[in-house]
Protein backbone atom coordinates (compact mmCIF):
# COMPACT_ATOMS: atom_id res chain seq x y z
CA UNK A 1 0.00 0.00 0.00
CA UNK A 2 1.15 3.54 -0.83
CA UNK A 3 -0.01 6.36 1.43
CA UNK A 4 0.44 10.08 0.91
CA UNK A 5 0.30 12.26 4.02
CA UNK A 6 -0.74 15.89 3.54
CA UNK A 7 0.51 17.72 6.63
CA UNK A 8 0.12 21.21 8.02
CA UNK A 9 3.78 21.76 8.85
CA UNK A 10 7.25 20.28 9.03
CA UNK A 11 7.03 19.35 12.72
CA UNK A 12 4.28 16.83 11.90
CA UNK A 13 6.45 15.38 9.15
CA UNK A 14 9.37 15.10 11.57
CA UNK A 15 7.28 13.10 14.04
CA UNK A 16 5.72 10.86 11.39
CA UNK A 17 9.06 9.97 9.82
CA UNK A 18 9.81 8.22 13.10
CA UNK A 19 6.34 6.87 13.90
CA UNK A 20 5.10 5.53 10.58
CA UNK A 21 7.55 2.63 10.18
CA UNK A 22 6.07 1.28 13.40
CA UNK A 23 2.43 2.15 12.68
CA UNK A 24 2.43 1.18 8.99
CA UNK A 25 5.00 -1.58 8.50
CA UNK A 26 5.46 -2.56 4.89
CA UNK A 27 3.71 0.53 3.52
CA UNK A 28 5.29 3.18 1.32
CA UNK A 29 4.62 6.53 3.01
CA UNK A 30 5.21 9.93 1.40
CA UNK A 31 5.09 13.01 3.64
CA UNK A 32 4.09 16.33 2.11
CA UNK A 33 4.23 19.26 4.60
CA UNK A 34 2.58 22.54 3.63
CA UNK A 35 3.12 26.11 4.78
CA UNK A 36 0.47 25.99 7.48
CA UNK A 37 -3.21 25.13 7.68
CA UNK A 38 -4.48 27.75 5.24
CA UNK A 39 -2.01 26.65 2.59
CA UNK A 40 -3.11 23.03 2.87
CA UNK A 41 -6.82 23.79 2.99
CA UNK A 42 -6.49 26.15 0.06
CA UNK A 43 -4.86 23.48 -2.10
CA UNK A 44 -7.20 20.60 -1.23
CA UNK A 45 -9.92 21.51 -3.78
CA UNK A 46 -7.30 20.99 -6.50
CA UNK A 47 -5.45 18.08 -4.93
CA UNK A 48 -8.36 15.83 -3.98
CA UNK A 49 -9.83 15.43 -7.51
CA UNK A 50 -6.31 14.74 -8.76
CA UNK A 51 -5.97 11.96 -6.19
CA UNK A 52 -9.36 10.57 -7.21
CA UNK A 53 -8.17 10.34 -10.82
CA UNK A 54 -4.89 8.72 -9.80
CA UNK A 55 -6.65 6.11 -7.65
CA UNK A 56 -8.80 5.15 -10.65
CA UNK A 57 -5.77 4.39 -12.80
CA UNK A 58 -4.45 0.89 -13.32
CA UNK A 59 -1.77 0.07 -10.79
CA UNK A 60 -2.88 2.81 -8.38
CA UNK A 61 -5.61 0.84 -6.61
CA UNK A 62 -3.57 0.69 -3.39
CA UNK A 63 -2.97 4.45 -3.17
CA UNK A 64 -4.46 6.06 -0.05
CA UNK A 65 -4.45 9.55 1.45
CA UNK A 66 -4.14 10.90 4.99
CA UNK A 67 -4.82 14.57 5.78
CA UNK A 68 -3.59 15.79 9.17
CA UNK A 69 -4.27 19.25 10.60
CA UNK A 70 -4.27 20.96 14.00
CA UNK A 71 -7.75 21.52 15.43
CA UNK A 72 -6.85 25.07 16.55
CA UNK A 73 -10.04 25.50 18.66
CA UNK A 74 -12.30 24.95 15.61
CA UNK A 75 -11.91 21.18 15.33
CA UNK A 76 -15.51 20.19 14.43
CA UNK A 77 -15.77 22.85 11.73
CA UNK A 78 -12.34 22.01 10.32
CA UNK A 79 -13.07 18.28 10.24
CA UNK A 80 -16.45 18.87 8.60
CA UNK A 81 -14.70 20.93 5.93
CA UNK A 82 -12.24 18.11 5.25
CA UNK A 83 -15.04 15.56 5.01
CA UNK A 84 -17.09 17.76 2.67
CA UNK A 85 -14.14 18.38 0.36
CA UNK A 86 -13.36 14.67 0.14
CA UNK A 87 -16.98 13.83 -0.64
CA UNK A 88 -17.11 16.54 -3.30
CA UNK A 89 -14.08 14.94 -4.96
CA UNK A 90 -15.73 11.51 -4.93
CA UNK A 91 -13.47 10.04 -2.25
CA UNK A 92 -14.72 7.82 0.57
CA UNK A 93 -13.37 8.71 4.02
CA UNK A 94 -12.82 6.66 7.17
CA UNK A 95 -15.57 8.60 8.96
CA UNK A 96 -18.10 8.03 6.16
CA UNK A 97 -17.30 4.40 5.33
CA UNK A 98 -19.36 1.57 6.84
CA UNK A 99 -17.60 -0.24 9.67
CA UNK A 100 -14.91 -2.53 8.31
CA UNK A 101 -15.30 -1.28 4.73
CA UNK A 102 -12.28 -0.06 2.71
CA UNK A 103 -11.89 3.68 2.26
CA UNK A 104 -9.57 6.06 0.45
CA UNK A 105 -9.02 9.03 2.79
CA UNK A 106 -8.31 9.37 6.50
CA UNK A 107 -8.97 12.88 7.81
CA UNK A 108 -7.44 13.50 11.24
CA UNK A 109 -6.94 16.38 13.63
CA UNK A 110 -4.37 16.84 16.36
CA UNK A 111 -6.36 18.35 19.21
CA UNK A 112 -5.56 21.11 19.71
CA UNK A 113 -1.98 20.85 18.39
CA UNK A 114 0.57 18.16 17.61
CA UNK A 115 2.20 18.70 21.01
CA UNK A 116 -0.88 17.17 22.69
CA UNK A 117 0.26 13.84 21.25
CA UNK A 118 3.61 14.26 23.00
CA UNK A 119 2.03 15.32 26.29
CA UNK A 120 -0.17 12.23 26.10
CA UNK A 121 2.93 10.13 26.77
CA UNK A 122 4.78 11.59 29.75
CA UNK A 123 7.25 8.71 29.76
CA UNK A 124 8.23 9.50 26.17
CA UNK A 125 8.86 13.17 26.95
CA UNK A 126 10.95 12.23 29.98
CA UNK A 127 12.92 9.68 27.95
CA UNK A 128 13.72 12.40 25.43
CA UNK A 129 14.58 14.96 28.11
CA UNK A 130 15.93 13.13 31.18
CA UNK A 131 16.16 16.20 33.43
CA UNK A 132 12.36 16.44 33.60
CA UNK A 133 10.43 15.35 36.68
CA UNK A 134 6.88 14.05 37.00
CA UNK A 135 5.88 17.14 39.01
CA UNK A 136 6.49 19.34 35.97
CA UNK A 137 3.51 17.76 34.19
CA UNK A 138 0.95 18.87 36.77
CA UNK A 139 -0.93 21.20 34.46
CA UNK A 140 -1.34 18.57 31.70
CA UNK A 141 -4.21 16.67 33.34
CA UNK A 142 -5.75 13.38 32.26
CA UNK A 143 -6.60 14.53 28.73
CA UNK A 144 -3.94 16.51 26.88
CA UNK A 145 -6.43 17.19 24.06
CA UNK A 146 -8.33 19.43 26.49
CA UNK A 147 -5.40 21.84 26.79
CA UNK A 148 -6.01 25.14 24.96
CA UNK A 149 -2.36 25.49 23.90
CA UNK A 150 -0.45 22.20 24.12
CA UNK A 151 2.68 23.73 22.58
CA UNK A 152 2.78 26.34 25.37
CA UNK A 153 2.24 23.64 27.99
CA UNK A 154 5.01 21.45 26.59
CA UNK A 155 7.36 24.42 26.45
CA UNK A 156 6.52 25.23 30.09
CA UNK A 157 7.32 21.64 31.09
CA UNK A 158 10.61 21.70 29.19
CA UNK A 159 11.69 25.05 30.60
CA UNK A 160 11.29 23.69 34.12
CA UNK A 161 13.92 21.14 33.20
CA UNK A 162 16.07 23.97 31.77
CA UNK A 163 15.46 22.99 28.18
CA UNK A 164 14.70 25.61 25.49
CA UNK A 165 14.75 28.69 27.76
CA UNK A 166 14.86 31.10 24.83
CA UNK A 167 12.04 29.78 22.64
CA UNK A 168 10.07 26.92 21.14
CA UNK A 169 11.62 24.36 18.80
CA UNK A 170 8.62 22.40 17.55
CA UNK A 171 10.38 20.42 14.84
CA UNK A 172 13.21 19.48 17.22
CA UNK A 173 10.68 18.43 19.86
CA UNK A 174 8.99 16.18 17.32
CA UNK A 175 12.24 14.59 16.22
CA UNK A 176 13.39 14.03 19.80
CA UNK A 177 10.16 12.81 21.41
CA UNK A 178 8.57 10.76 18.62
CA UNK A 179 11.04 7.83 18.86
CA UNK A 180 9.84 7.20 22.42
CA UNK A 181 6.07 7.42 21.83
CA UNK A 182 4.08 4.31 22.71
CA UNK A 183 0.53 4.26 21.28
CA UNK A 184 -0.55 1.74 23.92
CA UNK A 185 -0.05 4.22 26.75
CA UNK A 186 -0.80 7.53 25.03
CA UNK A 187 -3.58 9.50 26.72
CA UNK A 188 -4.41 11.72 23.73
CA UNK A 189 -7.77 10.69 22.19
CA UNK A 190 -6.85 12.32 18.88
CA UNK A 191 -3.63 10.29 18.74
CA UNK A 192 -5.57 7.11 19.48
CA UNK A 193 -8.03 7.97 16.67
CA UNK A 194 -5.11 8.55 14.29
CA UNK A 195 -3.57 5.17 15.14
CA UNK A 196 -6.92 3.39 14.83
CA UNK A 197 -7.55 5.05 11.49
CA UNK A 198 -4.16 3.96 10.16
CA UNK A 199 -4.83 0.40 11.27
CA UNK A 200 -8.19 0.49 9.46
CA UNK A 201 -6.47 1.90 6.39
CA UNK A 202 -4.24 -1.16 6.32
CA UNK A 203 -7.27 -3.39 6.88
CA UNK A 204 -6.02 -4.89 10.13
CA UNK A 205 -9.01 -3.94 12.31
Q: Dump pLDDT digits (tens) for 115-151.
A: 999 999 999 999 999 999 999 999 999 999 999 999 9
Q: What are the residue ranges spanned by the domains of the chain?
A: 2-112+188-202, 115-184
Q: Looking at the domain covering 2-112+188-202, what would its CATH class be?
A: alpha beta
On the 0-12 / 13-18 / 19+ scale of CB atoms within 10 A, 161 is: middle
Q: What's the pLDDT at 204?
A: 59
| Cα gap 161→43, rounded to integer Å | 40
User: pTM here?
Assistant: 0.95
| Cα gap 113→11, rounded to integer Å | 11
Amino acid sequence: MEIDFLLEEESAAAALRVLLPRLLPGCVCRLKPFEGCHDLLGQLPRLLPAYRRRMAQAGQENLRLVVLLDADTIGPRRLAQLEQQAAAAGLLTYAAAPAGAPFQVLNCLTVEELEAWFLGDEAAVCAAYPALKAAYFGRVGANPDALPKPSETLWHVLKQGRYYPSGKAKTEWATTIAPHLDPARNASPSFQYFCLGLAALRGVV
